Structure 1
């Protein structure tokens, strides 16, 4: 009941602010408000390092004076502060340039009726529980092997909150959500070589987090696997992006098909809608309404109803990712992507992780990427990497201090397989991705 009351209160604040804007004679207005409570606990070597409690709330309003736009925000939710915030937004809108594409999303696209996606699973924000979870993870990690010599800490986070969005179309929608996580980072040493790695668990339901001991053991095992890392000789070879980082590769694809990049002519996939950009078996579905999904959302940041979409089918790009502004700029239809994507499911080709290594034969399994050497305009890709060298389908030794390079256009078209075991802790759910050839720079 408390949650329902809070949600009703926040909706009322948003409604009041929109009414204030209307009194000022603006053409349109939109407002959003969030309220989040959370705890963040970190330990190092089983000693408590930090305990933080957050209780944040804030409201942002955007008004449109014809085609002029003004925005303002406040963390002070008193009536006087809200009135001042509206006034400031209106004042700003008097002086901004006219923009023919400005304005809220079309009224016909609003999510006036939307489903409960089971995103809210509150528990008591218990710092003692957080401390225990973090210490248990570290303890388990430090006991795995004498070569695990130090800890870089463990962290427990719990956040429960709600967000509400409303606009002058009469739409006001909001929903609560929760998110919990536990992570652990440890350091290993062998013959003077020091390495670190981490493991984590993340869920909307606290009782579905992996056991702290499992997180700690995984962190230790990942770290041990990296000891004795060396460089490889510069060569061209196939590369597997491990599922934990494969979503990052597809994240560049997200950037390239986002309206903001496209209308600025700053994407390597310009004018590629309806053409083949991936192998003819490749498919990406967007499913915004998965119950308890980490990237599920009944509507986007502009109140537009989200819907299932076939982003890529048979390698063909079916949709750009558009907001109201980018859609108007490009003379296309807004498809509800203000704020990002919602649960991308990447179709796999059936191989287990071992079968993927066998299929690659000799090449590089990448488990970590470093640096920002990605140019979305040209598609040029060059990043520092670490992982494992593979020969005859078997991992031979860990590698580090290397660079992998290529062009994203070619890399996407040269995807040879997607593993059957998917990474589910993010907005892009994909298995490991095998790219048939990349340039590897080492010794």
Structure 2
């Protein structure tokens, strides 16, 4: 029996045994991972896995169970477990599948998310070796923390008793390396990586290695910067944390619980007027793209923030019902968990000025390339994180700095945000170089 038939059979059994509604998700995955250090292989693994999850709803109670055993008797037991659990859990007035007229009946957009070419183990070994060799060949690099190359593919299928049925395939190629520069107590490390849906889009591993080495060498002989309020520039590698903080604050689960610092800001200005933040689940070959959401609803591109104004929450069906709104098609789920709101491809639109122009008028400031710690309070917006990068004097990089702390409040940070014009799509969440004025920097 194929996966889709298994799902429908599971749902039918659940309905016959007392469920009022049910949905089921199946995921199958294959992956290969290679790791090496200083030219010596440390890992070469291939794995294949599958998982199936069933959600049953009885009245206003629901239960979710999952299993990686797809034999008939194991799935029968899965149904029995789900029914038994759903009869005893507390009621939740907001649960429920989509109405039949809400589900996405297609056609599903072809997002080119699947690369049919499976790389050989030799290809992955060559990618990792090329990245590490290139990095080790840079003057000042003295050691390696290792290089990795991997590949994976997976198939997602979803079916529900409301009539929805759909699925899609995805794939991923990746390569990365981490190296050290300097000697003894003065050593500094850094890394770089690249990940794509299609192998043909993967960056030359040599360039990945050279960039990792350059970053490590540039960090040698760091100092401490000054303490005070100065402009901060976020390198694109860390700038993408800013839209992620926004996404967390407008997640329907946080808003419904009243635990978001933006809970009262819908349709108000929350960022500087030049900032637009887009979520696009249909980005072709996007790292977080998908043709429909995890409740079988149509998903779509939207401006979460439009010229500084907050336009929407990020909602699934449950949180939409809690808030008296409509789902935004942002449900996500695993085999063993119910749906919850989540973002797909997210990015801050590029601004009009270059990074050089953004930095040129800064007399004293901090260019951040690395962030440490999780010091962000989603309830108050308070922000405090360790940081390293480069001290700016008179519009130029003066010297590397580390063991710094940057602090502020996200509400103020958002309102003092400026975006440069160097947006690149390298991750699931992307941002150009960003400038925030008025944050506190603690150094010497």
The TM-score normalised by the length of structure 1 is 0.95
1:375 alignment counterpart: 377
2:386 is the alignment partner of 1:393: no
Q: Which runs of 4+ in 1 moved over 4 A?
A: none
1:304 alignment counterpart: 297
2:438 alignment counterpart: 437
Whole-angstrom CA distance in 2 between matches of 1:292 and 1:423: 14
Whole-angstrom CA distance in 1 between matches of 2:44 and 2:434: 38
**By how many angstroms is 1:235 displaced?**
1.3
**By how many angstroms is 1:345 displaced?**
3.5
**By how many angstroms is 1:192 displaced?**
4.2
1:5 alignment counterpart: none
CA deviation map 1:256-301 (0-9, x unaligned)? 0000111111100011101000112211222221211112111112
CA contact (8 A) 2:240 2:347 kept: no
2:345 is the alignment partner of 1:343: yes
- Quick one: which of 404, 409, 412 aligns to 1:410? 412
1:426 alignment counterpart: 427
Whole-angstrom CA distance in 1 between matches of 2:100 and 2:224: 57
- Quick one: which of 114, 122, 138 aligns to 1:120? 114
Whole-angstrom CA distance in 1 between matches of 2:243 and 2:35: 31
- Quick one: which of 40, 64, 72 aligns to 2:65? 72
Worse-matched range after superposition: 347-356 or 39-48? 347-356
2:123 alignment counterpart: 129
Whole-angstrom CA distance in 1 between matches of 2:373 and 2:39: 31
- For structure 2, the residue ranges without an aligned partner over 5 or more in a row are 333-341
CA contact (8 A) 2:98 2:162 kept: no
CA contact (8 A) 1:10 1:33 kept: yes
**By how many angstroms is 1:125 displaced?**
4.1
CA deviation map 1:202-233 (0-9, x unaligned)? 11011211111111111100100111111112
CA contact (8 A) 1:111 1:298 kept: no
**By how many angstroms is 1:361 displaced?**
4.1
Whole-angstrom CA distance in 2 between matches of 1:245 and 1:383: 12
Whole-angstrom CA distance in 2 between matches of 1:30 and 1:191: 57
- For structure 1, the residue ranges without an aligned partner over 5 or more in a row are 1-7
Whole-angstrom CA distance in 1 between matches of 2:371 and 2:266: 29
- Aligned CA-pair RMSD: 1.3
1:228 alignment counterpart: 221
Equivalences, count: 434
CA contact (8 A) 1:199 1:218 kept: yes
- Quick one: which of 277, 280, 284 aligns to 1:284? 277
* SS class of match (1:138): helix
CA contact (8 A) 2:243 2:277 kept: no
2:16 is the alignment partner of 1:23: yes
- 1:20-59 equivalence runs, <5 A: 20-59=13-52
Worse-matched range after superposition: 365-374 or 241-250? 241-250
Aligned pair in 2 of structure 1 residues 233, 361: CA closer, same or farther (>3 Å)?
A: closer
2:232 is the alignment partner of 1:239: yes
Aligned pair in 2 of structure 1 residues 312, 12: CA closer, same or farther (>3 Å)?
A: same
CA contact (8 A) 2:349 2:423 kept: no
CA contact (8 A) 2:33 2:45 kept: yes
- 1:160-171 equivalence runs, <5 A: 160-171=153-164
2:144 alignment counterpart: 151
